[in-house]
């Protein structure tokens, strides 16, 4: 059932995903640009905010802060997985893999490679602070507007 807390979580985490993806795009080398991935990341953030943060938005402050961090980290994991699958499809269409098993292994290799960029200071800070701020905002809305 739609609630104000779910809506707030969806909107806030879509915005956080957009900002983190923008910071991520600035942290990678220009030759590794991946197109307009920001809107895909925002959609993933919207779904994670609705499904993960939304049901916990009416809980006490510490629970919502924890749920916000969890939502932020899960959004990052799903975004890395989606980006890796997209890159795997592109590489497989160019016949760069020996077989289907090599393509599936390539997904996780690329996810780890892309994930190492997240250790960059501003990106990691945006993920953590965004999760706490998103949880805080969703908690306020969820508790005040059930």
pLDDT of residue 13: 97
The CA–CA distances, whole Å, from 42 to 37, 60, 85, 93, 122 equal 9, 26, 17, 26, 18
> What pTM, to 2 d.p., does this model score?
0.90
Predicted confidence pLDDT, tens digits, the chain (146 residues): 889 999 999 999 999 999 999 988 888 877 776 777 889 999 999 999 999 999 999 999 999 999 999 999 999 999 999 989 988 998 899 988 888 899 999 999 989 988 888 887 889 999 999 999 999 999 999 999 87
pLDDT of residue 129: 96
- For the chain, give every domain's residue range: 4-144
Tokens of residue 105, six digits: 């292994």
């Amino acid at each position: 059932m739609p609630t104000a807390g779910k809506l707030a979580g969806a909107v806030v985490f879509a915005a956080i995903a957009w900002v983190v993806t923008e910071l991520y795009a600035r942290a990678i080398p220009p030759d590794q640009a991946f197109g307009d991935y920001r809107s895909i990341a925002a959609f993933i953030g919207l779904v994670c905010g609705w499904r993960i943060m939304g049901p916990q938005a009416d809980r006490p402050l510490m629970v919502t802060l924890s749920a916000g961090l969890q939502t932020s980290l899960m959004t990052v994991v799903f975004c890395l997985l989606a980006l890796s699958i997209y890159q795997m499809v592109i590489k497989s269409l160019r016949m760069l893999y020996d077989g289907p098993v090599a393509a599936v292994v390539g997904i996780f290799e690329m996810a780890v490679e892309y994930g190492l960029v997240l250790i960059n200071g501003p990106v990691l800070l945006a993920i953590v602070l965004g999760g706490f701020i998103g949880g805080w905002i969703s908690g306020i809305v969820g508790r005040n507007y059930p």
